[in-house]
């Protein structure tokens, strides 16, 4: 069975009403930067080994590493500042997990690695050496590492590494795909930092090919969920529209359909009625903003929760000044505008109690929902 046939079988039951697609905004792909000081590593699987590439002072450095198909340690060189352990390819992530006592959540990192590290250190998610410090607890990142900021590569490797460290400690790190992950992989580069277009030139690949199915991070992304339910809480990037409830009723099938479609050209996934609902700019789980723009009132939100058997939905995507609650804490918005590189916050869910962690490590109540329109 080919990929398109598999996608068709996985989502052919979706309602035709979801097929409308939002047009692209009038924004051009930026020109590549004139040089790259440090970027990498980009790690590609090559037979039974790995091919490693860094960019140091605008020049490519490469090496091959034999692995016999297993894991391997990669020393720090340029870009990510820590030794990496590359594990064998991951299995697709589970869509539904049991409740856990403590969950920490953030989203929309957008290449702001330095601010991410400050925020995680201040709230004791990681230690001073950037190692996992939450023990058996859970971290959820609700999408959008790609685009805008200057340290996308570093942010991905940190999350990749923390996932391994958390698993070893009995905890968990979950990365949920956002719309910018899908955009980069289907070659919509309007928001890519110019640094990375220069990196792609130097490495002789398109930017999406740096995250192709032969790359370690590209393979990892192709196993990540769009919908993640932990206990009575659903985590996703955009939101669940009433028009797209079918997608959330079978999250495993929906996740598999997204994973199968990653990297297929934009025109193809948006033009094919079997995949268009996954990428609809108004109603799909990676794009929906209806909790905040007046399309859905509190009664409508409650109807969605009741249909899905949920207490709350946690989303990123729509920028706020603070981690905020809407509709009587039925919806929690965790995009705290980290992308601006100035400030960021975490959501804590502890035995059902909600609070937010600030950049100085203090904990306060969630903010009342006031939307920042800059998305």
350, containing H or E segment: strand 346-350
375, pLDDT greater than 70? no
The answer to the question of residue 65 being in a domain is no
Place of tokens 């000081």: 37
Structure token digits, residue 213: 């199915």
Which pLDDT value is given to residue 69? 67
Kindly write down the DSSP assignment for every residue of 182-208, as one continuous string. Answer: HHHHTT--TT--HHHHHHHHHHTS-TG
Instruction: Provide mean pLDDT across the span 346-354.
Output: 97
Structure token digits, residue 19: 């097929």
Closest CA to 155 of 145, 140, 167: 145
What does the pLDDT look like over 166-184, one tens digit per residue? 999 999 999 999 999 999 9
Q: Are 155 and 106 in contact (CB under 8 A)?
A: no
Strand partners of residue 350: 102, 353
Phi-psi map region of 223: left, alpha, beta (phi>0 left; psi -120 to 50 alpha):
alpha
What does the pLDDT look like over 85-142, one tens digit per residue? 999 998 999 999 999 999 999 999 999 999 999 999 999 999 999 999 999 999 999 9
Name 326's Cβ contacts closer than 8 Å, sequence gap at least 6. 291, 292, 301, 332, 333, 369
Name 303's Cβ contacts closer than 8 Å, sequence gap at least 6. 242
The answer to the question of residue 82 being in a domain is no
Q: How would you list the strands of the sheet with 331-333, edge to edge? A: 96-97, 228-230, 233-236, 312-315, 331-333, 324-326, 367-368
Q: Are 106 and 122 in contact (CB under 8 A)?
A: no
Closest CA to 167 of 193, 144, 138, 146: 138
Instruction: Provide mean pLDDT across the span 286-305.
Output: 96
How many domains, in total, are found in the chain? 1
Which pLDDT value is given to residue 253? 97
The answer to the question of residue 375 being in a domain is no
The answer to the question of residue 230 being in a domain is yes
User: Looking at residue 298, which CATH number applies to its domain?
Assistant: 3.60.21.10
Give the span between the Cα atoms of 335 and 321, in whole angstroms.
8
Which pLDDT value is given to residue 26? 62
The answer to the question of residue 331 being in a domain is yes
What does the pLDDT look like over 196-218, one tens digit per residue? 999 999 999 999 999 999 999 99
pLDDT band at 5 (very low <50, low <70, confident <90, very high): very low
Give the span between the Cα atoms of 178 and 173, in whole angstroms.
16
Q: Are 374 and 352 in contact (CB under 8 A)?
A: no
Kindly write down the DSSP assignment for every residue of 137-166, as one continuous string. Answer: -EEEE-S--SSSSS-HHHHHHHHHHHHHHH
The answer to the question of residue 342 being in a domain is yes
Give the span between the Cα atoms of 92 and 102, in whole angstroms.
23
As a whole number, the mean pLDDT across the chain is 92
Give the span between the Cα atoms of 338 and 76, in whole angstroms.
26
For CA atoms 52, 198, 80, 361, the dihedral sign is negative
- The angle, 0 to 180 degrees and rounded to 10, between the axes of the packed helices 3-11 and 251-261 is 150
In this structure, the chain runs to a length of: 375
Cis amide bond preceding 41, omega within 30: yes
The answer to the question of residue 216 being in a domain is yes
Which pLDDT value is given to residue 22? 39
What does the pLDDT look like over 356-367, one tens digit per residue? 999 999 999 999
The answer to the question of residue 100 being in a domain is yes
Q: How would you list the strands of the sheet with 172-175, edge to edge? A: 172-175, 138-141, 102-106, 346-350, 353-357, 363-364
Range of the domain at 343: 3-33+90-368
């Amino acid at each position: 069975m080919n990929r398109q046939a598999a996608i068709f079988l996985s989502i052919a039951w979706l309602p035709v009403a979801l097929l409308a697609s939002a047009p692209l905004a009038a924004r051009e792909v930026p020109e590549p930067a004139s040089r790259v000081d440090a970027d990498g590593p980009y790690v590609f699987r090559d037979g039974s080994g790995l091919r490693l590439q860094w960019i140091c002072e605008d020049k490519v450095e490469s090496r091959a590493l034999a692995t016999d198909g297993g894991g391997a340690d990669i020393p720090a060189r340029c870009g990510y500042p820590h030794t990496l352990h590359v594990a064998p390819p991951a299995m697709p992530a589970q869509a539904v997990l049991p409740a856990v006592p403590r969950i920490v959540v953030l989203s929309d990192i957008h290449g702001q690695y330095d601010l991410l590290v400050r925020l995680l250190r201040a709230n004791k998610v990681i230690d001073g050496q950037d190692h996992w410090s939450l023990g058996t607890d859970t971290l959820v990142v609700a999408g959008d590492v790609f685009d805008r900021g200057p340290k996308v590569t570093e942010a991905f490797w940190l999350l990749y590494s923390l996932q391994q460290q958390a698993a070893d400690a009995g905890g968990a790190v979950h990365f949920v795909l956002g719309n910018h992950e899908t955009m980069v992989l289907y070659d919509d580069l309007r928001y890519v930092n110019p640094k990375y277009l220069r990196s792609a030139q130097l490495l002789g690949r398109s930017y999406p090919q740096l995250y192709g199915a032969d790359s370690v991070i590209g393979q990892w992304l192709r196993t990540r969920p769009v919908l993640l339910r932990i206990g009575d809480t659903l985590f996703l990037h955009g939101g669940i529209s009433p028009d797209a409830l079918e997608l959330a009723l079978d999250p495993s099938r929906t996740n598999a359909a997204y994973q199968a479609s990653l990297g297929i050209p934009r025109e193809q996934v948006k033009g094919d009625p079997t995949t268009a609902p996954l990428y609809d700019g108004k109603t799909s789980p990676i794009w929906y903003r209806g909790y905040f723009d007046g399309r859905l009132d509190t009664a409508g939100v409650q109807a969605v929760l009741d249909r899905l058997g949920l207490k709350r939905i946690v989303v990123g995507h729509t920028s706020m000044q603070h981690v905020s609650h809407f509709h009587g804490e039925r919806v929690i918005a965790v995009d705290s505008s980290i992308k601006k590189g100035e400030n960021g916050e975490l959501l804590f869910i502890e035995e059902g109690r909600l609070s937010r962690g600030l950049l100085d490590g203090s904990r306060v109540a969630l903010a009342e929902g006031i939307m920042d329109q800059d998305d």
